[in-house]
Amino acid sequence: MANQKIKVVGLKKAFGDLEVLKGIDLEISSGEVVCIIGPSGSGKSTFLRCLNRLEEPTAGEIFVDGESITSNGADVDRVRRHLGMVFQQFNLFPHYTVKQNLMFAPVELKLKTPVEAEKTAIRLLDRVGLGDKVDAKPRELSGGQQQRVAIARALAMEPDIMLFDEPTSALDPEMVSEVLDVMRELAEEGMTMVIVTHEMGFAHDVADRVIFIDDGVIVEQGTPEQVMDHPQSVRTKSFLSKVL
Amino acid sequence: MLAGGFVTTLQVTVSSLIIAMVLGILVCLMHISHKRVLRGIAKFYIWIIRGTPMLVQAFYIYFAVPQLIQLSTGSSFRIDVFTASLITLSLNAGAYLSEIFRGSIESVDKGQMEASRSLGVSYATSMRKIILPQAVRICLPSLVNQCIITLKDSTILYAIGLGEIMYQAKIYVGRTMESFATYTWVAICFLLITSVLMLISRTVEKRMHA
């Protein structure tokens, strides 16, 4: 497949004796929006974190743009530049202003001059609706605003894949939609996205494909209609009946 | 004479603290590294220093180590008392500072390193630009506290004959019998310095939380 972005083969991850991922195979094409759902502790966050090697896989291989990122010689730092990541807890740098949060990596990695990086930062912050907060410190922002900055920070590296690890789970309910709106726009612009989420409505709306992971394996996958409206597996049915 | 003693106290304290600061950072980085050997060395060093009194450490460095060198090389070896004092105080403070630094680094949220690494920034740069600036703020109160402890502990070096303030005070009292006035003066000298340190620490802390 020419437009294949990510390919995962036989991915396993164990923490000591506890096997969290028991062999995952998956291909994601360019521009595809994939939502991963499943019960807590099912391994979905671990799977996402393996994709940019924040977790070291125990076995299996991962290819990004056809290049193995799990082989010994792989330059993880270089691969990570193409993979933006948004965390549940935002993880903004508290000692930097909002603008500096966005400028840090591009300037540090010498991809941009400070002047260019600042321009990009302001443009991105405008885009997520925070043009008036460029000089604020993260702690002065609400959770929803912080998460939008975190998305902009990941975008500042101009990634072609974005990973979201439960991006709205730490937010107060009234702030969820402002973050989802930004993500929806990104999806419409054709960004390749892998989203671990508990927002079933959002997954149903935005996903090209929904993957249900339980107990370290992919139980079921397909279009939102297939997986969420007409689930085949008993485990999927039971999970959906609890969350919908 | 007493003033001269106090100058020696300050000299040995300030120089040791500077050395200890560098040593502490090194040992701390060894302690949190993934290399088992480095971790082992750091742990062993901290274990020795924390587990023995500084008086014993001072005697060991001033008397025991020179004898060991003398026995093993066959030629006579002496170490001057200021150098021995400097080594003792540096090694001592270095161990405690490394633990203070380690505690501060480990108390920075794990997500900070992950966020920086996920942007493609290397471990070393993430440590320098993201983790350490936050750790410095956290460690500041304990750092000042250790400076105070080291300053006060420097009086122990009187036992190996360093001409610091207590040593000079003892001689002075022996000559003049002015115990009360002399030791009051000594205590006030320490209070002055430690008060200034505490004041600085409080101001800096306030500014950082503002």
Q: Which two tokens stand for residue B97?
A: 């500072």
The structure tokens 């279009």 sit at A223
Answer for the pair A191, A31: CB distance below 8 angstroms, yes or no: yes
Q: Which of A102, A170, A93, A176 is nearest to A138 (CA)?
A: A93
A83 touches chain B (CB under 8 A): yes
Closest chain A residue to B116, measured at CA: A105
In a mutagenesis test of the A interface, which of B104, B117, B118 is the best target, namely the one with the most A β-carbons within 10 Å? B118
- Tens of pLDDT along A120-139? 999 999 999 999 999 999 99
Task: Give the other-Cβ count within 10 Å of A160's Cβ.
Answer: 16
* Chain A residues lying within 8 Å of B120, measured CB to CB: 77-81, 105, 109, 157
To the nearest 10 degrees (0 to 180), the angle between helices A143-155 and A114-127 is 130
How are the residues of chain B apportioned to helix, strand and coil, as percentages rounded to the nearest 5?
A: 90, 0, 10
A97 touches chain B (CB under 8 A): no
Answer for the pair B55, B159: CB distance below 8 angstroms, yes or no: yes
The DSSP output letter for A86 is E
Q: Provide the shortest C-alpha distance from residue A129 to chain B (in Å).
A: 22
Answer for the pair A99, A125: CB distance below 8 angstroms, yes or no: yes
3-state secondary structure of A14: strand
In percent, how much of chain A has pLDDT > 90? 90
Closest chain A residue to B133, measured at CA: A95
pLDDT confidence tier of residue A1, bands split at 50, 70 and 90: very low
Answer for the pair B170, B157: CB distance below 8 angstroms, yes or no: no
| Burial (0-12, 13-18, 19+ Cβ within 10 Å), A81 | buried
Beta bridge partners of A159: none
Answer for the pair A186, A167: CB distance below 8 angstroms, yes or no: no
Of A89, A109, A150, the CB nearest to B120: A109
Strands A67-68 and A59-64, how do they pair? Answer: antiparallel
Is pLDDT at A2 greater than 80 in this prediction?
A: no
A95 touches chain B (CB under 8 A): yes
Q: Which residues of B47-84 are buried (b: 16+ CB within 10 A; e: fewer)?
A: eebeeeebeebbbebbeeeeeeeeeeeeeeeeeebbeb
Within chain A, strands assigned E span 4-15, 18-29, 33-37, 59-64, 67-68, 83-86, 161-165, 192-196, 209-214, 217-222
Cα–Cα dist A163/A198, whole Å = 15
Q: Provide the shortest C-alpha distance from residue B195 to chain A (in Å).
A: 29
The predicted structure's pLDDT at residue A131: 94
B121 contacts A157? CB cut-off 8 A: no
Q: Which two tokens stand for residue A224?
A: 């939102």
Beta bridge partners of B29: none
The structure tokens 């088992």 sit at B36
- Mind giving me the DSSP string for A182-197? HHHHHHHTT-EEEEE-
In percent, how much of chain A has pLDDT > 70? 99
B115 contacts A91? CB cut-off 8 A: yes
Tell me which H or E stretch contains A97. Answer: none
Residues recorded for chain A: 244
- Tens of pLDDT along A5-26? 999 999 999 999 999 999 999 9
Answer for the pair A107, A96: CB distance below 8 angstroms, yes or no: no
Task: Give the other-Cβ count within 10 Å of A241's Cβ.
Answer: 9
Q: Which contacts (CB < 8 Å, 24+ apart) does range B60-65 have?
A: B61/B87, B61/B88, B61/B91, B62/B88, B62/B160, B63/B160
In a mutagenesis test of the B interface, which of A82, A83, A108 is the best target, namely the one with the most B β-carbons within 10 Å? A108
Cα–Cα dist A146/B157, whole Å = 53
Chunked in runs of 10, what are the mean pLDDT values of chain B (210 residues)? Answer: 90 97 95 93 97 97 94 89 97 97 95 96 94 90 93 95 92 94 95 93 78
Q: Average pLDDT over chain A, rounded to whole? A: 94
Q: Provide the shortest C-alpha distance from residue A153 to chain B (in Å).
A: 9
Q: Which residues of A101-130 are buried (b: 16+ CB within 10 A; e: fewer)?
A: bbbbbbbbbebbeeeebbebbbebbebbeb
A164 touches chain B (CB under 8 A): no
Of A85, A92, A94, the CB nearest to B118: A85
Cα–Cα dist A62/A70, whole Å = 6
Residues recorded for chain B: 210
